Structure 1
Amino acid sequence: MKTSETEVLIVGAGPTGLVLALWLKRLGIDLRIIDKAPGPGETSRAIAVQARTLEFYRQLGIVDDALAAGIRVERLAVRTPSGIAATLKLGDFGAGLSRYAFAFALPQDIHERILIGHLEKMGVAVERRAEFVTFKQDASGVTATVTKDGTSEVIRAAYLCGADGASSTVRHGMKLGFPGGTYEQSFYVADVAVENACSGLNVCLDTHGFAIVLPVRQSGSVRLIGIVPGSHAAEETVRFEAIRAEVERLTGVVVKAANWFSTYRLHHRVAEHFCVGRVFIAGDAGHIHSPAGGQGMNTGIGDAVNLGG
């Protein structure tokens, strides 16, 4: 069995794990970062990038690349069946408090590729198809077992961090509770191409529904997030075509093509602790939220900076 050593082993190569790796490498710390997935994410998932995250990226020297790849959201509009009920300018939201005083959208798949590119420039490659199995720790370090292509490796590290998502294997190994609950409603999320232009963030409300419309890609794609209509809420599998008419009625958009669509239930949970000895968890491994305001990804990135610093 292969054995190796490093100062820090990071499990999970989403934004939280990648930012932790960038921050630690910037400080000259030897590390390895592994992920069981064969490659970075292919869907946009988290999109809102807050000003504090951009401030962290400025310290890392990567903010210009992030800004060039995303979209500044200049306006918020509240839409009802009667039309636009209210608008709010977001272009200078928080002016005087941050140099990034605006709302900003950057799809997670593009976001991750930017982080990976900068990490590779620093000489660190994400080790793919590498699955974290278990660990033991003592006073001087952590001994972790990882499998890849049917072969096991024992990695001795001074510290271990699980940034491996809501079902975190690291958190389970720490035997931590993850108390919280599940919101009652079923939600949908889609990236779609639309026939009519969409500018800014639109919040769409009526007596039976709720949806958000947000441009997320410079190519013109639009993100739709909303509550699955009641007539389909109990269905195990919901397809976009089944709810298209209701979504278009509520949002006012005309969909040409659905590039990606999924339904999900929202959870709210926080781990009992974020560390046990030399083992830490960060991001969704430690806390999961409603996606409102982009708090999940951005707090995870904050975890990474606080832990790395």
Structure 2
Amino acid sequence: MRILFAGTPEVAVPSLRALVDAGFDVAAVLTRVDAPVGRRKVLTPSPVAVAAEDLGLAVLKANRFTPELIDHLGTLDLDAAAIVAYGGIVPPAGLAVPEHGWINLHFSVLPAWRGAAPVQHAVLAGDDITGATTFRLEEGLDTGPVFGVMTEALEPGATSGEVLERLSHSGAILLVQTLSGIDAGRVTATPQTGEPTFAPKLTIDDARIDWFQPAVAVRRRINAVTPEPGAWTTLDGQRVKLGPVAPLASGVGTAPGTGTAPDTGGGASRPAPGALQVVGREVRVGTGTEPVALGTLQPAGKKMMDALDWARGAATRGELVFE
């Protein structure tokens, strides 16, 4: 089967490699143009472009489907196109090029979480199950008929980055199976059923933590935006980036209170929302319900560090409260 592969980020690379390993004839790889990366804004090829060149495949770079690009795709004699997180809309003229259409690997169990950030929204919502779906791309947003689905449990403490890493590999197997089935005439697509939910891209504003929310909501939001766009809060007007938080390892009382002084009594009053408190080797932050334990954080102008190391030094400034 002769295919085009379209993808851009690291999460798409396992699918490209799996298709090559499975013996598919990859006529070309379509990815987005080199983008500025880092503080120096160095133009850098996408992870898919790097992988494609490593595999000796022809690479096409484009952020949109121009008439010239569509004409070129028409010369490749494509049976199908596989697309994984390409990051652009395929217009009707492009959809019509391959004989079997465009087969999209999407990281949710459709029709749940249609859109750009399905895993982030699944984590944010506290879903028990996640997975991936292969479907035929059409003009609607992730509305096309489904070829195959795989599912797995979504662990409560997992970040979206960890979930995507796992799904990128299990989903690659599903994509290979789907295209192999299409090639052999064994697989047909069926319409999606059920009420859809939607997963727009999460912004940096969405990643700010509201400490008045319940602890479970705080944990889910931090996990959902880790690693991108990255959870954050402020301290004395300065932005602080946050790593994942955890439930408390030791007990906590119910009386209100704040503070950062170490507690040597094995228990502590409950800190107010956003207030920090060191209890033994645990750095607690108050929420709308029970506190959570900080793991790592990155103060403005510094590197990510262990929360306990930071808190011991910062406690000399007096009471610390995230805003």
Same fold, TM exceeding 0.5? no
By relative contact order (CA 8 Å, sep 6+), the higher-ranking structure is: 1
TM range (shorter): under 0.3
Structure with the bigger percentage of strand: 1
Structure index of larger Rg: 2
